[in-house]
Chain A
Amino acid sequence: MEGKYGGKSRAGALKKTGDGCNKDLPAKYCIYRDLSFGRETPWRSRVKTKEDMSLLAERARSGDPEAFASLYEMVYQDLYRYALYMLGQKEDAEDVVSETVMAAYAQIGQLRSAEAFRAWIFRILSNKCRNQRAAYLNKTGELDEQMPDPGGDFTEESMLREAMARLTGEEREIICLHVFGGYKSAEIGLILKMNPATVRSREHRALEKLRKSCGS
């Protein structure tokens, strides 16, 4: 229990504030299933109490930076990767995630539960990425779905990222929501307002495109 971010224990992070209520983790544990869409990320496999999570949400709602950062820790890598693959540029991705964090913190008062945090902050991020894409305008003044040439950001290893740039915005979004957001097609359908079959067929088409341009 290092009690620092990057450390192993959630309880440690909570203890650090000297908050008496969580001095000893309650004896009764239940495997906490992350109920905000999607798949396993490392922290979720750790045993966690429900009391922990609701305490965390309560403190985050009241504006506690540490509690917010704890929630953020659970999703931050996925957030950055999503932005990176959506926008293709490290700097833009960093800016957009940073904006997302600040907007989320400012309106964290409406957080319903710790479980809902992930989907909610992803929604903010996805909206901001869309705005960012809308800012890539071509000469005729109409929205060009393809991103500008990413320039020096790509090495051989990131051929995939470059190939992503050649997809349409929607195709990229579906893949990013799936891979980094961890959403299933029905959930993506809700976010993008399509039916799940359309999501899957578009993803299939997008992956075919990617495969061709990577030659794999």
Chain B
Amino acid sequence: MSGTINDFSIHVATVNGSGSQTANTTLMRAIFQMGVPVSGKNLFPSNIAGLPTWFTIRVSDRGYLARRRANDVLVAMNPETSVEDIQAMGPGSVIVLNEGLPTPAIPSDRTVYKIPFQKLVEPLVPDAKFRKLVVNMVYVGVVASIVGIDPDEVERALQAQLGRKPKALETNLAAVRAGMEYAARNLGSSPFRVERRDRTAGKILIEGNDAAALGAMFGGITFLSWYPITPSSSLAEALQGYLERYRRDPKTGRATFGIIQAEDEIAAIGMVLGASWCGARAMTTTSGPGLSLMTEFTGYSYYAEIPAVIWDIQRVGPSTGLPTRTSQADLLSVAFLSHGDTKHVILLPATVEDCYEYGMESFDLAERLQAPVFVLSDLDLGMNVWMSDPFRYPEKPWDRGKVLTAADLTRIGKFERYRDVDGDGIPYRTLPGTDHPLAGCFTRGSGHDERAKYTENAETYARVMDRLAKKYETARTLVPPPVVERARGAEIGILAFGTSHWAVLEARDLLTPQGLETSYLLLKAIPFSKEVRAFLESHDRVYVVEQNRDGQMAALLKMEYPALATKLRSVLHYDGLPIDAQTIVDQIKNREREGVLAR
């Protein structure tokens, strides 16, 4: 097989808790430093130590960041999984194998390098306990050598991670060098090579949860309450880190934020509502099971009209499901979360940049709409590292919505909490502590009229519900619009949201040369803005790509546009791994072929 430059995947199989994260990050960063776009996908178990874990680094000159189904270079370090890991490798692949691991029969068109990792690391690390952690650095050296990663870049990448621990740095560098030297002496070079480019200059590498945390900080968050749950904890913890660093006065030690690790997710959302009711910019972050617990308070937030920002970093359900795998299957439950008639505003980040932007925008929307605003991220986006352009400092100030001060009340001379004064379905509110005799207001989840008085009156109830529906129509005009890319004359449209975006980008490039030209709509929010209908109307067939079993986005579209329902087809992926381009290509081609046969 001929050589492949800057277009392959490295798959590393290790044991959880063995310190492989530093090794894998070093490899990934070294390639990034060479100017070549990379993405890393961490496939980890719900476990602290002992279970199998995998890390896949995709090297792509063209900047494709989605998961690839097949891998080209395997590093097999885990005896529990080595047989299966090796069996999954295709013809032409390269297998770096820890000597002594169980193996299946390996066809001769795979290149196998058996490495005596233990022997290489033993002289470097006398203590057996540390040896286990350092051994991974040897494969960094081996891989760097056979795919041609500049040793200086490996050193720089390692320094960036261990620079503060000189002793650890020294030992790990020695291990890397041992791997490189062994490979140079004993192994050839692989057909998969990294060559220097200039495609990562000025770019950043960041996890979606980290990006979201930055957004929340620059959005002016003042209150966070949360309950630990994978894969959302890293958002809360990143945010805590940033706030401690940048929002606590170094002289006085006083903070302009409050963070509470709540006793459960019911309390977490309750605290958000209490804080938002007082006027704080408050948010919580959770995942599926936590979301289920937040159901009742979400309905309260909707009906009593209290802002709330709720990040859902989706994982695989139902129930505990696969807590460390990714999914887009919370969509329908979030869209209508609560008993009674409710429908919610949802932001759908596809990129780390979106996470940052929505970290800010979610507060503006929640306060403008006086409603819960959900941000539906997922494990793939939240917990994996993504390449991105650097984030922009916000140019706009902030939108704190319709809040009446004491001076406003004096000027107006009256206050009715739930009156639709402006005709947009959004009423005015006052904050507790406002020093004016008219400011007081009794907030309740039970039936209320325009003056916030208790009522069970039939007409009043219906009137309030109609106004809330009107407010949802206003939201349609405020949420971020979709990004539409039209291909001239294309009959086929693809509609996707969230992380499916990356696989769609690649799939379209694969479909075009096969005669399947596609337009694309990347949905950024619910409720759907007018561009969505226009997109459906202007295409003959629209493939809705999503990472769930039941075609949840397609279902929402069919509810909203029943007359266009027959145009919709689903491309589905729901095994817990991030969706890949080939899945989309295969499903679209199959359906198109069926269509031709039917005609």
Please say whether chains A and B are actual partners in one complex.
no
A residues with a Cβ closer than 8 A to B are none
